[in-house]
Structures are given as C-alpha cells and as structure tokens.
Structure 1
Amino acid sequence: MAANSTSVRPFGMKDKIGYMFGDFGNDFTFILSSSFMLKFYTDVMGIGAGVVGLLMMAARFVDAVTDVTMGQIVDRSKPTKDGKFRPWIKRMCGPVAIASFLIYQSEFAGMSYGFKVFWMVVTYILWGSIFYTSINIPYGSMASAISSDPTDRAQLSTWRTVGSTLASLVIGVGTPLVAYETVQGNTVLSGSRMTIIAGVFSICAIICYLLCFNLVRERVEVPANTEKLDVVKMLKSIFTNRALLGIIAAAILLLLAMLGMQGMSAYVFPNYYGSAAAQSAASFAGSIAMLVICAPFATKLSAKFGKKELATVSCLFGAAVYVVCLILRPSNPYVYVAFYTLAFIGLGFFNTIIWAMITDVIDDAEIKNGIREDGTIYSVYSFARKLGQAFSSGLVGGILGMIGYTPETAFDPAVTSKIFDMSCIIPAVGLFAVALALLFIYPLSKNKVEANVAELARRRGEG
C-alpha cells in the first residue's frame, strides 16, 4: 500500500537525484577511509600496517552486533510524517561526519604509540561501527519504500552508483593532488593536509545527506515488524537463504577486489611509479568509465541478459585484464592506468546493479517467509560489505608488512616491485572469485527474478 498516496508526488527525477546524494554523502567518508586511512596511519602516524589492518578486521566483530541491531531497530520502527527511513538520515548525518574527521588528526603524530593506537581504535569504531551503520542501514533499506516498481528500483540502484562514482571522482582525483608533497625527491603524504581534507569532506557529506533527506520521498508503506524477536529463527532464516548468502559472498569478494585496487593505488603509484598524478588520473579514468559506460548501459544490459549473468561475465573480464597487466609489467604509469580503467569497467557493471540485486534478494525472502524484512536483510548485507572493506584493508596491510614495507623501505626497489605484483594479484583473484560465487551460489537468474516479481504482484493484487 502506498503511504500518503494522495499527498506524495509521483516517483521522478528528484527521488533519483536525492538517492544519488545519499551515497555521495556515504562515500565522502567511506572511500576516504578505504583509500587513505591505512596510508595516513602508516606514513603520518607511524603505526605498523599490520596493526591498522588488524583494527579494521577486528572492528567487524563489533559490526556483527551493531549492523543487525540497527536493522532490527529500523524494521520495528513506526513510520513518521517524514517516513520510516528518511528521519535517520537527518538525525545521524552530523555524528558520522564528525567521527570521520576525528580519525585524521595529524597533530597527534608526536604522541606516544599507545595513544595513537587508542585514538585510531576509538574514532574508527565510532565512525564505522556506530554512526555510519546508523545512517547507512536506513538509507539502503529506503529504496523499497521509495517505489514498489522494479524498474524504479533499478534506476535508484544506478543513481546510487552514480553518487558513489562522483564521490570517488572527487576523493580519488582531488585528494592525491592536494595531499601529497615532495620531500627530498620522494612523494609523501602530508598529515596536516589530510586533516584539512577530512574536514572539508565531512562538511560535504552533511550537505549531501541533507539534500537526500529533502529530495527523496517514501511512497510504500512498510509497517513496523511487531513479531517478537526470535534470534534463533532470524539466524536460521539468514543462513538458509541461498540468495542472501550468494550476494554476501559476492559482495565481500567484490570489495576485496575494488578496495584492494584503491588501497594498493596509494602505494603502487607514488612508490613504484613515483607519480601521484598518475594515481589521480587512474581515479579520474575509473570514475569517468563508471559514469559514461557502466551507469548508462548496466540497466539495459541487465534487463536483456539478467543481473547475475551480466555481473559474472564482467567480473571475469576484469580479472583477465589484471592477469595481462601482471605479465606485461608496464613501465609507464599511464599504461598501468589504462589497465586499471579496463578492470574497473569489469567490476563497475556489477557494482552498478548490486543494489537492485539486494532488492531481488529481499523479494525472494518475502516470497519464502511471508514477511518483508528490508532492514534486517540489508543490515546483514551491509555487514558483509564492511567485512569486504576490512578484509581488503587487512589484506593490504598484512601483505605490506610481509613484503617489508615501512616508511624507511617505502622506496626500496625490492619492496616496490612486490607492491606492483600485489596491486595486480589482489584484484585479479578477487574478481575471479566473485564470478565463481555468482555462478555457483547465487540462484537469482533473470528468469527467477521475473517469476518472483510476478508472484509478489499477484499476492498484492497488482497483477
């Protein structure tokens, strides 16, 4: 049933642009963390890469509780005059932005090692496990309430990816140009500049969140879940949902590949190639490819061939690109940028349609269980994405430690050569594993999704 159907405007461009700004706001802090936090704490704060990576993985145990708890809170909350999900965006935009800014306080670089680790742990947990969760779960769940039409939801997924890509463009292109400086002939990260950048991005995040709140409208009534919480039943439902398990596996592996690419770019470009400008160019080219190729064609291609089918083939293509790059070992940084961009197109198609695939999973669960649990299912998926973020950061940090990377060996040819190898191997393995997960675990083919949509329409008297 549509909520306030007589007073809420029809679904349109304002909703798509507003939803885009929501992920734009999310990624002003998320991409900054995934791309530069490890670099900031190793090079500026002097903390070992393994320690930072361990924190990012350990924090996910906290998320296992906070994500699902927030999902339950959202599912059990009653709609207000602003809707069921929108109010959370307005409530939590300030705290998440402030917590992100506090992570990058370079003035503490001279403090004791123990204090710096303590500061990193507290601010990272506040940002990622508490405040980011409390805004991202309602935001992601809100797509089901904006419209019940599958085409509208696919468009929201595309526009959400556009928002993420624009944030990646601003952060990935702009940050390397500003944050790095040349010291004794080496390209190094400036701590004071990173603090300023983090503050500016936090302000931008708040602005984007408020634009999302004001432009988006909820039209579909999602009543509060009044059933008594049965943790055993909930866990059984989650772990027997093959579609959810499949998309979780694929999401973790996708982020391992994508964030591994972004995380290693902070080392392969300035340390192996000696070019922060090439790092900026890679982010720019990848973002433009997403906007010009992936976003316009993903919905059309997935409608023709199926979301699962498109994602599987495109990820295999991305993996193959990095295998060729590893074999050729280009000496020119801009040839590497070209390989980076082609691989980014491969993962970009899946990253563009994955949000619509989550809605397919929610529909599939409703058909099987008879209950609409947007918040709970999305929270489990959100937790999986954080696992992917943590694993990529932990993997990158652990590998850097294993190959002997420290501020003192950062430009040692033996170390930088291994950095190049890992910059190709991590995404190649990740993307190939994504394709396998989609092919053998995720069951929602094009025919199955269409059958589910028709069945839900029948149950709701829409068809």
Structure 2
Amino acid sequence: MARESAQNEAYVKNINNASKFGMKDKIGYMLGDLGFNSLQVIVNTYLMLFCVNIMGVKATHFAIIVFLCKALDALNDTAIGRTVDKRPATRYGKMKPYLKWFAIPYMIFTVILFINVTAMPYALKIAWIFIVYFIWGIVGTFINVPYGAMSNLITTDQVQRTELSNFRSIGSMAGSLIPTTIAPLVLFDSENNPIANRFIILSVVLGIFCIVCLVLTHYLVQERVVVTLESNLNAAGEKVNYLEVAKSFLKNRIMIAVVLGYVVSKLFIQTNGMTNQYVFMVYFQDTSMLSVSSVVSLIPMILGMLIVKPLVKRFGKKKLVTWPTLGAAVCYGITAFLPATPGGWILCQLLASAFMAFSTLLLWSLIADAVDYQAYLTGQRNDGTVYATITFIVFFAGSASTSIIALLLEAVGYNASLGSMGQLAGVAERIKILGGAWPMIGCILVFICYYFIYNISDAEMKKISDSLR
C-alpha cells in the first residue's frame, strides 16, 4: 500500500507539473499511430496473400480463421479496458506505459505470423495461423486501447483535440503508406507473384520501426488529466457496473453514429487496400502501380490537415463528415462502372480520398467527444473501459472485413492457384467492379450514419466538455 501511495503521489505530481499542450504532444501522438499502423497494415493487407497464395490455405478457411480470431479478440477488449482502468498509474502516466511494455511483443508476434510453415500438415497449418493470429490480436489490443483512451487525458480542450485527431490521422495514413508503398516493390517477382521469405524481412524492418515510434510516443506525450482508482466508483461510491456502461451507449446518439460510421469504414472503405491489390495484380497486371496509388493517397490527408481547423470553425464537424462522403461515393462509382486505366483509377481514388479526408481526420476527435458525452450522461469517468467497449463493438463487427473480401473474391471467381495472369475470362473485370463498388457503398452508409444519427452541435459539445473539465 505504501508503495502504491508513493507511486500515486509521483503520478499526480508529474501530471500537475506537465508542460502546456504543444507540438511535442501532437508529434508524439502521431508517431504512435505511425508505428502501430505500420504493423497493423502489413498484417491486415498482406496476411491473406501470404496464407492463400504461399501457404496454400483455402480462402474460405482463412476467412473463418480471421473472423473467429477477431471476434474473440473483440470480446477481450472490454476486459483489457477494465484492466487498464483498474491498474494504478505509474509516475509516467496512466495509459502511456502500455505502449512501451507491449511494443516488442507486438513485433515478435507479427514476425511469427509470416513464418512459412507450408511443410506442415494442413490441419496443423490452420491451427498455427489461428493461435498466432489470436495472440497477435490480444497484444495489439494492449497497445490500441490505452493509446486511444490517452487522447482524453492529454487535453480537454476541443480545438486541441481536433489537432490531436488530425495528427493521429496523419500518422495512421503514413503508417498505412509505408508498408503499402514498400511491399509491392519488395514482395512480388517479375510475374507479380509473392515471394515467401520477403514477408519476414519486411515485418522485421517495420517491427523495429514500430518499437521506435511507440517509445517516442511514450516520452513525447504528456497526460494532463489525473485519473485515480476512485474513478472506477460512481457518485454513490459504488463499483461501476460495466454492463450498464455498455447499455448506456444506447442513449448516446453521438456514440452510436461514430461507432456505426467507424464500423462501416472498417468493412467497406479500409479494405480498399486489399481489393486494390487484386485489381492491380489481375486487372491491370502491374503491381508496381500499387506503390504510386499508396503515395498519392497521402496527399489529400496532408492538404486536409492544413485546412480542417478553419473549416471546422466555419462549418462544424457534422457538415465536414457528411456531404463530402457523397463526392467520394461518386468517384468510387466511376472506377467501378466505367473503363479505367491504372492512371485513371489512381486519380479517381485520389479524389475519393480527398472527399473522405475530413471524415478520417476528425474521427478521433469525434470519438473523444463521444467518450466525454458518455461521462456526461453517466457521471462516471472510465475512459479505458469506454474506449475498449467502442473498440469491442467496432472490431467485433469489423472482424468480418477480411473474411468478407476473401469470400467476395471467391464469389467473383478468383482462383489463387492460377496466378495473376491465368484467371478465367471475366474474373478480372468482376474484380475491378468489386474494387470500386464496395467502398462506394461504404461512403453512402457513412453519410447516413452522420447525417441522420449524429445529433449534437459543436457549441453544445464544447459546453459539455467545459463542464466535465
């Protein structure tokens, strides 16, 4: 008890003596997503290619593995959130230490995922992928949940949260850009088929990069809101009922809109990297253009970051995350249903990314608002648990994303054993339609979520955050 009391005093002292919010916080928070996403994307985008095309796993079996693992991982999210909330803070902070503790294990399990076990019997191969992928997901959650909840502890100011959200989104996009730019140049041979041992090399390099980024986040970012174990008690001094926390989400329309929008984005829009792989492999038969596609996708995010702050002041968050999504839907529709060249495809997707940039840049600011509104409705501050519940809902629903793409590819007739150039007639055209129509549907659904469900103005949200502060 004496040791815990001393730790708590050091923690509170460190929080109270924290420097003012500034560029160090924004860069540090950006680096967290930059490093974490670099490994997330290499797994989410290329694990299916590795397992199906190299290890010979049937696409349907891979789809089932991913769905089960992600669904089980989602169930762990709330338990991990409770663990984070209940654990006494260190002098470095409440959430930050988890980034440093789990960075190396996260790299190790990413590398293990890409070990080529083709020689194993098929059943053992399936079991290997299932076990390693499941553990990889748990380790990642111990980084993702504290990292997300940390934004509410860095600042309570709405403008500063918007800036944090911008920088996090840039980190996320850059973290996606690095593997999706390098991978097509490294992983494929001259006939656009993947080479097994190069997956390990890429995962080791990106793993080291991830560790460096997460450690820098730990030292650059400062938590400024004191959270003690008493935060797990309600106003009457009773233990928090976590089932009631989940049920109270139903009264929080901000939470419902943001979570549904996030789910849709994971299912339909963030899978664009996977479908693009097959469009360029099979339809255009030029995987080198994947790198160009990845690079140009970052341009709208950088430009959006420069203008989103004045636009939020002028129009508010709701308008910026609704109407532009319809423009993105039109661009994706053009790629799906009109003839396309590699350059035209990339241009249309660049315009779609530009329209979706505001929705992406403001996502984490909207989530922070939803968490604050939850505290306002319930009178309880359990950010780790609330954020974990959000990720539970999002990842449980989104657990089907990779599985759905694998099944859709089979539905349009793709056969991995035939290689990129040997597919049956009509398959390439159907893959192209899939690559454009799927994100088009997602953009329309995102518009519906934010336009019809999200029900609070920026001015009202500012009053709520001020009262919580």
TM-score past 0.5 threshold: yes
Find the partner of 2:387 among 378, 390, 414.
378
Write the deviation string for residues 9-41 of structure 1: whole angstroms up to 9, x where unpaired: 221111111111110111011111221111111
SS in structure 2 at match of 1:189? coil
Q: Which residue of 1 aligns with 2:48?
A: 38
Distance in 1 separating the partners of 2:275 and 2:261: 21
Q: Does 1:393 align with 2:402?
A: yes
Correspondence list, 1:27-426, <5 A: 27-106=37-116, 108-128=117-137, 130-182=138-190, 186-224=191-229, 225-227=231-233, 228-291=239-302, 293-330=303-340, 332-387=341-396, 389-410=398-419, 411=421, 412=423, 413-426=425-438
Q: Is the CA contact (8 Å cut-off) linking 2:71 and 2:395 kept in structure 1?
A: no
Give yes or no for contact 2:261–2:450 (8 Å, CA) kept in 1.
yes
> Which of 20, 33, 56 pairs up with 2:30?
20
Instruction: Name 1:450's counterpart in structure 2.
Output: 459
Using the TM superposition, give the Cα deviation of residue 298 of structure 1 relative to its aligned residue in structure 2, in angstroms: 2.4
* In structure 2, distance between residues paired with 1:384 and 1:300: 32
Partner residue in 1 for 2:3: none
Question: Separation in 1 of the partners of 2:232 and 2:60?
Answer: 44
User: Is this contact kept in 1: 2:78–2:388, CA < 8 A?
Assistant: yes
Percent identical pairs in the alignment equals: 28
The offset of 1:442, in angstroms, is: 2.3
**Structure 2: distance between partners of 1:165 and 1:193:** 23
Question: Is the 1:298–1:349 Cα contact (8 Å) retained in structure 2?
Answer: yes
Distance 2:58 2:278 in 1: 15
DSSP 3-state at the match of 1:66: helix
| Structure 1: gaps of 5 or more residues | none
User: 2:6 is matched with which residue?
Assistant: none
| TM-score normalised to structure 1 length | 0.93
Task: Tell me by how many angstroms 1:459 deviates.
Answer: 5.6
Show CA shifts across 1:181-223 (max 9, x none).
Answer: 12xxx31111111111111111111111111111111111122
Please tell me the residue identity of whatever aligns with 1:110. Answer: A
Q: Which amino acid in 2 is paired with 1:209?
A: L
Amino acid of the residue matched to residue 150 of structure 1?
Q
Q: What per-residue deviation string (whole Å, max 9, x for no partner) do you get for residues 338-370 of structure 1? A: 111111222222111100001110121122111
Amino acid at match of 2:412: I
Please give the alpha-carbon distance, in whole angstroms, between the structure 1 residues aligned to 2:429 and 2:250.
42
- Greater mean alpha carbon deviation, residues 434-443 or residues 410-419: 410-419
Q: What secondary structure sits across from 1:354 in the alignment? A: helix
Preserved contact between residue 71 and residue 396 of structure 2 (Cα < 8 Å): no
User: Counterparts of 1:137 and 1:259 in 2: how far apart (Å)?
Assistant: 19
Q: CA deviation at 1:388?
A: 5.6
Give 1:168 shift.
1.7
- TM-score normalised to the size of structure 2? 0.92
Q: Distance in 2 between matches of 1:246 and 1:169?
A: 28
Stretches of 4+ aligned residues off by more than 4 angstroms: none
- Distance (whole Å) between structure 2 residues aligned to residue 123 and residue 295 of structure 1: 37
Aligned counterparts of 1:204 and 1:399: Cα–Cα separation in 2: 33
Distance 1:284 1:459, change over 3 A: closer
Per-residue CA distance 1:212-236 (angstroms, 9 max, x = gap): 1111111111222333242432232
The alignment yields a C-alpha RMSD, in angstroms, of 1.9
What code does the residue aligned with 2:435 have? Answer: S
Deviation at 1:441, TM superposition (A): 1.9
How far apart in 1 are the matches of 2:183 and 2:96? 30
Q: Which amino acid aligns with 1:192?
A: N
Contact 1:3 1:218 in 2 (8 A): no
Residue type matched to 2:443 in 1? L
- Displacement, 1:322? 1.1
Count of matched residue pairs: 450
